[in-house]
């Protein structure tokens, strides 16, 4: 049925009707609190562009996680800023990497709080891209193995969910394969549905050379491109 018989505005006519037919309700149970781990002790680096947001050392991050739990927030999402960066982002999949340490610490000190980990390489690569560079381009397939290795290291550290944000083609299958082969077939993967502006770039300082991130991140103008 089409207009004029079909008139969607009928269900939006007043506040009570809108309340009745609303499909999406946002509650505390829906929230995930992003936290940004940095090396050191008692570190709280404010992020100037986002008031109230800090880069936190693991001890501070545990306090924040405890507070989130006390507020009834069910999950945190961890990002890491490593001690050092290199061409292949090895800090992302290091057994004692910053996120791996943060996961272990939170899981041992805070009960009943889901720990989700961001799986990407851009915080850990010296060039700031989400994958390995070959000839000035981000090499999709070579990156998959490193993303899978990263997710597996998070799982081994105790993560409850891994969340790839890199936008490489085939990364969910690669991560799923690595998790299943290593005894983590129950571990969920939470893909970020879309990544248009990558707000974490303001918090996780990255360099974008020699190619721009726009060659693999989503474009606002065309959803189907991702
Ligand atoms: Zn990334």
Indicate whether 195 pLDDT > 90.
no
Query: What is the reported pLDDT for 91?
Result: 98
Query: What is the reported pLDDT for 225?
Result: 45
Among 19-23, 152-156, 200-204, name the one with the lowest average pLDDT. 200-204
φ, ψ for residue 30, nearest 5 deg: -90, -5
Q: How far is the CA of 135 from the centre of ligand 1 (A)?
A: 19
Helix/strand/coil (H/E/C) assignment for every residue in the chain: CCCCCCCHHHHHCCHHHHHHHCCCCCCHHHCEEEEEEECCCCCEEECCCCCCCEEEEHHHHHHHHHHHHHCCCCEEEEEECCCCCECCCHHHCCCCCHHHHHHHHHHHHCCCCEEEEEECCCCCECCCCCCEEECCEEEHHHHHHHHHHHHHHHHHHCCCEEEECCCCCCHHHHHHHHHHHCCCCCCCECCCCCCCCCHHHHCCCCCCCCCCHHHCCCCCCCHHHC
Say if residues 168 and 140 touch (Cβ distance below 8 Å). yes
Active site residues: 195
pTM for the whole thing?
A: 0.85
Higher pLDDT, 213 or 178: 178
Q: How far is the CA of 201 from the centre of ligand 1 (A)?
A: 9
Q: How far is the CA of 80 from the centre of ligand 1 (A)?
A: 11
CA–CA dist 29, 72 (Å, integer) = 7
Say which CATH superfamily domain 32-225 falls into. Aldolase class I (3.20.20.70)
Say if residues 127 and 88 touch (Cβ distance below 8 Å). no
Query: What is the reported pLDDT for 80?
Result: 96
The pLDDT-based confidence of 193 (bands split at 50, 70, 90) is low
Q: How far is the CA of 3 from the centre of ligand 1 (A)?
A: 44
CA–CA dist 208, 211 (Å, integer) = 7
Over residues 74-92, the mean pLDDT reads 96
List residues bridging with 27 in a β-sheet: none
Q: How far is the CA of 6 from the centre of ligand 1 (A)?
A: 44
Residues 6+ apart with CB under 8 A from 216: 130, 131, 138, 140, 166, 167, 168
Q: How far is the CA of 117 from the centre of ligand 1 (A)?
A: 13
Q: How much is the mean pLDDT over the chain?
A: 89
Indicate whether 198 pLDDT > 70.
no
Per-domain boundaries in the chain: 32-225
């Amino acid at each position: 049925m089409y207009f004029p018989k079909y008139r969607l505005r009928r269900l939006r006519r007043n506040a009570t009707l809108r309340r009745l037919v609303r499909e999406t309700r946002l509650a505390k149970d829906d929230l995930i609190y992003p936290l940004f781990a940095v090396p050191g002790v008692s570190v709280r680096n404010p992020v100037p562009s986002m008031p109230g947001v800090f880069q936190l050392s693991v001890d501070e991050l545990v306090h924040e996680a405890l507070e989130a739990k006390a507020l009834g927030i069910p999950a945190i999402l961890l990002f890491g800023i490593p001690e050092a960066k290199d061409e292949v982002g090895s800090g992302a999949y290091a057994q004692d990497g910053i996120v791996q340490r943060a996961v272990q610490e939170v899981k041992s000190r805070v009960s009943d709080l889901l720990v989700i980990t961001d799986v990407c390489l851009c915080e850990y690569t010296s060039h700031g891209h989400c994958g390995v560079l070959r000839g000035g381009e981000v090499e999709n397939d070579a990156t998959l193995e490193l993303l899978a290795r990263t997710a597996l290291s998070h799982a081994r550290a105790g993560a409850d969910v891994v969340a790839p944000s890199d936008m490489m083609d085939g990364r969910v299958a690669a991560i799923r394969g690595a998790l299943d082969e290593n005894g983590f077939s129950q571990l969920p993967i939470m893909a970020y549905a879309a990544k248009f502006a990558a707000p974490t770039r303001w918090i996780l300082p990255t360099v974008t050379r020699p190619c721009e991130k726009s060659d693999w991140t989503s474009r606002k103008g065309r959803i189907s491109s991702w």
